[in-house]
Structure 1
Amino acid sequence: MLKTESPEKPLVYSCSGCSSAAQMANYLAIKMDREGIAEMSCIAGVGGNVKKLVRTASSGRKIIAIDGCPLACSKACLGNHNISPDVHFELTKFGVGKKQHHDFDLEEAGRVLKEIESHLMLQAL
């Protein structure tokens, strides 16, 4: 498990839409938060222009964005405030299927989380 020792952990944002891929993105961000890899913040608050949450996103901390599909909603919400993530993951590029009215596969999520952690270690984020 990758654990950030810096007091300024990177922020992680994810989409949390209705598809299986979007729900996996949200699950991965929660796992990263709970495991101490990053601090999850609320992309809905950024998209909704909630001042405190926009300030957090604009604070200069490193940002990880996880989106379930090419629509890239979390990246777009950040972009509405001229914020670009330092690293962006789109789960369909990891072979994750986007299915409506289905839950994501927990085993597949574990595999994707390991791939994301490996990528972050290489980026030294």
Structure 2
Amino acid sequence: MKNTKLPLVYSCSGCSSAAQTANMIAIRMDREKVAEMSCIAGVGGDVKPLVRTAKSGRDIIAIDGCPLSCCKSTLARHDVQPKYHFNLLDSDVPKIQGEDPDPKLFLDAYKQILELTIVK
């Protein structure tokens, strides 16, 4: 069941270690019920129910793995601005092709994002 009081979280999910770190953070936020993850690919693909969710007025957390900011740009195509936007490079998460996320960097970035968005 959806909790419309929770913020929405969208993440990059590309093939680099940073992209997968962003995706892991969003999944963990969803599983811990601090945010509801929604599908950025669906927003980019103009899937009507997913675009409606993005435009619902709920707070949005966008997590990108690198300065390309694909997640934020995808939302902007539908005139949606996230309340919070994170580029994991700013959290010292390197973008490395063909490598899995570093568990310590994941946890550090996750805690930083929680402190800035959820825990007030």
TM-score (norm 2): 0.94
Map of 1:93 onto structure 2: 90
Give RMSD over aligned pairs. 1.2
SS at match of 1:13: strand
SS at match of 2:94: coil
Q: How does 1:37-116 map to 2 (within 5 A)?
A: 37-116=34-113
SS at match of 2:33: coil
Post-superposition offset of 1:106: 1.1
Residues in 2 aligned to 1:12 and 1:113: alpha-carbon distance in whole angstroms: 13
Post-superposition offset of 1:99: 0.2
Matching residue's letter, 2:90: K
| Per-residue CA distance 1:57-100 (angstroms, 9 max, x = gap) | 00000000000000000101000001000000100000110000
Q: How many residues align?
A: 118
> For structure 2, which runs of at least 5 residues remain unmatched after alignment?
none
TM-score (norm 1): 0.91
User: Among the aligned pairs, what percent are the same residue?
Assistant: 57
Moved over 2 A (4+): none
Post-superposition offset of 1:7: 4.8
Matching residue's letter, 2:33: G
